């Protein structure tokens, strides 16, 4: 795992991550393989993003003896940004099956590229949970930054942002607005095209995941 040149941004540096991100980038990858690989990659990035979750100790009785063990000290909330974040949220449940799920619905205004929110639902005890905001593409950074602002307004205090592909300007904007929220990525790309798509990126993550 490496800290990228942008403080507070971790780009997971691992052979499995590198080989799987190449599968997602490839425009010939089938929908089935795209979905499966997005799930696998999410679990690998989750491994890094959950590394500092607080633990508490407890006694456990094995078939042979009593020993000390651990469990997560706080509940976890996963919040996908609709709709592309849904695939990542499902994959997170493989490693955090007890997590609560919130939802933030946002779409991009195609002229201004500004995010517009149309839906918000989060568990009432959000403030007491460790929150993982998930969205595969961190492009301009505006949607993620607005989503975090909403979550903080609703009480969230311990937040992390997980994406699969980010770009430098998106990460920088997000970190300027939320320097307290770490970012975890599988890849960091140089920039955006005129339609605010990440280049080289992987195209429209939602369209490729849902087949739209």
Greatest Cα pair distance in the chain: 65
159: CB partners within 8 A, 6+ apart = 131, 132, 133, 148, 151, 152, 178, 180, 181
49, 38 contact by CB (below 8 A): no
Residue of 112, 125, 157, 176 with catalytic role: 112
Question: By CB under 6 A, what part of segment 167-186 binds ligand URA?
Answer: none
State phi, psi for 141 to the nearest 5 degrees.
90, -10
**Cβ closest to ligand URA, residue 25 vs residue 152:** 25
Q: State in angstroms the smallest separation of the CB of 110 from ligand URA.
A: 12
Instruction: Say whether residue 106 binds ligand URA (CB under 6 A).
Output: no
Length of the chain: 212
- Contact region for ligand URA (CB under 6 A) — 28-36, 116-124, 179-187, 194-202? 194-202
- Contact region for ligand URA (CB under 6 A) — 27-35, 53-61, 149-157, 200-208? 200-208
Strands 100-101 and 76-82: parallel
Strands 198-199 and 191-192: antiparallel
Residue 37 appears among annotated catalytic residues: no
Instruction: Say whether residue 113 binds ligand URA (CB under 6 A).
Output: no
Residue 112 appears among annotated catalytic residues: yes
Question: By CB under 6 A, what part of segment 139-168 binds ligand URA?
Answer: 139
Instruction: Say whether residue 205 binds ligand URA (CB under 6 A).
Output: yes
- Contact region for ligand URA (CB under 6 A) — 59-67, 118-126, 156-164, 198-206? 198-206
Residue of 29, 36, 100, 204 with catalytic role: 204
Count other C-beta atoms under 10 Å from residue 144's C-beta. 32
Binding mask 59-98 for ligand URA (x = CB under 6 A): -------------------------x--------------
Residue 108 appears among annotated catalytic residues: yes
Using only the alpha carbons of the chain, give its radius of gyration: 17
Binding mask 4-23 for ligand URA (x = CB under 6 A): --------------------
What residues are annotated to the active site? 108, 112, 204, 207
Q: Which residues bind ligand URA (CB under 6 A)?
A: 84, 137, 139, 197-198, 201, 204-206
């Amino acid at each position: 795992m490496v800290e990228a040149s942008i403080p507070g941004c971790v780009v997971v540096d691992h052979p499995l991550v590198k080989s799987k991100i190449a599968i997602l980038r490839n425009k010939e990858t089938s929908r089935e393989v795209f979905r499966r690989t997005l799930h696998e990659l999410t679990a690998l990035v989750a491994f890094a993003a959950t590394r500092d979750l607080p633990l508490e100790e407890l006694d456990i009785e094995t078939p042979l003896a009593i020993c000390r063990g651990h469990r997560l000290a706080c509940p976890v909330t996963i919040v996908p940004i609709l709709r592309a974040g849904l695939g990542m949220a499902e994959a997170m449940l493989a490693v955090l099956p007890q997590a609560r799920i919130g939802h933030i619905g946002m779409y991009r205004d195609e002229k201004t590229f500004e995010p517009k929110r149309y839906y918000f639902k989060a568990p009432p005890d959000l403030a007491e949970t460790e929150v993982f905001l998930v969205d595969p593409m961190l492009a301009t950074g505006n949607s993620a930054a607005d989503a975090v602002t909403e979550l903080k307004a609703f009480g969230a205090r311990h937040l992390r942002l997980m994406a699969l592909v980010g770009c430098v300007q998106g990460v920088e904007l997000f970190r300027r607005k939320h320097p307290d929220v770490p970012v975890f990525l599988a890849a960091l790309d140089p920039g955006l095209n005129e339609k605010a798509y990440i280049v080289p990126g992987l195209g429209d993550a939602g369209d490729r995941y849902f087949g739209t």
